[in-house]
Amino acid sequence: MKKTRELRKWKILQEKDISPSPWFPLYLHKVEMPNGKIIDDYYLSKHDNVAMIAPITRDGKIVLVRQYKHGVEEVILELPAGRIEKNLSPLEAAFKELKEETGVVADNLIFLGEILTSPTKDSTRVYCYLALDVEITGEQDLDETEEINVEVYPLSDLKSLISSGEFKGSEALATLLKAKIYLESRNLDVQISI
Catalytic residue among 6, 73, 74, 144: 144
**97 an active-site residue?**
no
Torsion of CA 170, 127, 103, 105, to 10 degrees: 130
Residue 82 and residue 93 in contact, taking contact as beta carbons nearer than 8 Å: yes
Q: How far is Cα 154 from Cα 5, in angstroms, rounded to an integer?
A: 47
Q: How far is the CB of 49 from a second copy (least distance, A)?
A: 11
**Least distance (Å) between residue 153 CB and a second copy:** 11
For residue 2, the number of C-alpha atoms closer than 13 Å in the C-beta half-sphere is: 0
Q: In terms of CB distance, is 58 or 121 closer to a second copy?
A: 121
Give the C-alpha separation, 146 to 152, whole Å: 19
Closest approach of a second copy to the CB of residue 58, in Å:
17
Q: Which is nearer to a second copy, 133 or 147 (CB)?
A: 147
Name residue 89's amino acid.
S
The residue among 64 and 106 lying less far from a second copy, judged by its C-beta, is: 64
Catalytic residues: 144
